[in-house]
Structure 1
């Protein structure tokens, strides 16, 4: 199953660094948050990634073009016809497709523009600026059992995000509300599962916002499910957010760090 990662936004709320690099390339420890997200998915056996690039997307492409070299021990022997010897390398079991989805394209348009790389199969989708310790196997199991077109991960981080209205059973999203004070409401934390039918709700136009008309329509039709996650979740909107993630990683307490070192 492919993992689609939205990595094309401008990241204006963390502009101290995003004016130099795309937001998904801002580091936690010594690696971009995009790497952390991919390592997490890979730990569950999802190794095939489609990355939706936009703002400064060439930097993401350059990162992966040089990934093997950067992660290896190398000797450059200039006395022997510029020979390069790889002594030790760290290989990932990844297949990474990088797609230029436009500079100003919104989330729905970006997903629609990678449709041809999905292959008409269900896929996973998340944002390139958030980490979590969500049980991806349980998410996928619930989605398959539900028959929904889309299942998103609901989290409860606080009151500064838009809120999801749920049905009485608490398993289907019935609508959306604007940002509200903390009231225990659930918000979309990403980490979604989508059936290929979702592309019929999307447009490749720049202004198509996934979280607006497409998901709102699916909610009205009873086709939008929610997987409730009450564990760790953190997006990197601000330098304060990044500082918290840096502290967790540096202290060895990062909840999303579930893979073994190689």
Structure 2
């Protein structure tokens, strides 16, 4: 299953950083937030990424072009123009980087990468939000619902697209984008999507959060997966500071891959025979 990450926005509310790098490359704990998002999916076995580039997309491409070199040790023979690799700590990721236009809206970016997605179900999220959402459970839920798309609903006040839910039924009753009066359940990203859902996108000027999701609601084809765990986007400098503070404390709640490694390490240690 492929994972599409929308990484082309301007990030104007983070202008202190985004004048130098695009928003998805703003770092938390010395790693771009994009890396944190990819680590979550990789933890759940998804390693094939399609990244929708836009603003400063060449910087994102350069990041991945040099990723292998930065993660390993090697010897360069300058005279022979040869490289001997000694150690490679790179993740098992396949990354497709697509220039989807600097001014293209989110729906338009998604439509532009359709040729890279094939005819299979895919995951979709934004390049500026982290969570401990269980991707495996999310995908299973999506298939159980039989909808064209599933959105992860999270709790957060205001500023984001609001979801009106119909009682306990796992379908959205209405989708409304950004209203200061909103405050309950919001669009947290982390979608699962069928290729047919892309037919709701008109052109480059279409926002995925507006007409396409509204059309899916009208067709009773937008399922809602309720996530009650951690979720935080990085929309402002304050958001970045919150994430960095959690990282500095040593137990960032979205780093489920580190928690799994720690549990495995403790289990292996307790199972090891005592030496006499």
- By how many angstroms is 1:176 displaced? 2.4
Structure 1 residues 237-252: aligned runs within 5 Å = 237-252=235-250
Name the structure 1 match of 2:254: 256
Secondary structure of 1:168's counterpart equals coil
Secondary structure of 1:259's counterpart equals helix
CA distance in 1, matches of 2:73, 2:151: 40
Q: Does the CA contact (< 8 Å) of 1:162 and 1:180 recur in 2?
A: no
CA distance in 2, matches of 1:51, 1:244: 25
Name the structure 2 match of 1:23: 23
CA distance in 2, matches of 1:149, 1:84: 47
Q: After the TM superposition, which of the residue ranges 246-255 and 120-129 deviates more from structure 2?
A: 246-255
Secondary structure of 1:206's counterpart equals coil
CA distance in 1, matches of 2:153, 2:27: 25
Q: Does the CA contact (< 8 Å) of 2:14 and 2:237 recur in 1?
A: yes
CA distance in 2, matches of 1:90, 1:117: 27
- By how many angstroms is 1:157 displaced? 1.2
CA distance in 2, matches of 1:145, 1:82: 54
- By how many angstroms is 1:257 displaced? 1.0
Structure 1 residues 112-261: aligned runs within 5 Å = 112-177=111-176, 178-181=178-181, 183=183, 185-203=184-202, 205-260=203-258
Q: Does the CA contact (< 8 Å) of 2:162 and 2:182 recur in 1?
A: no
Task: Give the number of equivalent residue pairs.
Answer: 258
Q: What stretches of structure 1 move > 3 A for 4+ residues in a row?
A: 74-78, 80-85, 180-183
Q: After the TM superposition, which of the residue ranges 1-10 and 238-247 deviates more from structure 2?
A: 238-247
TM-score w.r.t. length of structure 2: 0.89
Is 2:61 aligned against 1:65?
Answer: no
CA distance in 2, matches of 1:62, 1:180: 38
- By how many angstroms is 1:169 displaced? 2.5
Is 2:51 aligned against 1:51?
Answer: yes
Q: Does the CA contact (< 8 Å) of 1:163 and 1:180 recur in 2?
A: no
- By how many angstroms is 1:232 displaced? 0.4
CA distance in 1, matches of 2:22, 2:124: 19
RMSD of Structure 2 on Structure 1 (CA): 1.6
Name the structure 1 match of 2:268: none
Q: Does the CA contact (< 8 Å) of 2:161 and 2:209 recur in 1?
A: no
- By how many angstroms is 1:88 displaced? 2.0
Structure 1 residues 100-119: aligned runs within 5 Å = 100-119=99-118
Q: Which has the larger radius of gyration?
A: 2
Name the structure 1 match of 2:273: none
- By how many angstroms is 1:22 displaced? 0.7
Name the structure 1 match of 2:9: 9
- By how many angstroms is 1:160 displaced? 2.7
CA distance in 2, matches of 1:82, 1:94: 26
Secondary structure of 2:69's counterpart equals helix
CA deviation digits over 1:151-203, x for unaligned, max 9? 000011112323211112241111124514465x2110000000111111113
- By how many angstroms is 1:76 displaced? 4.3
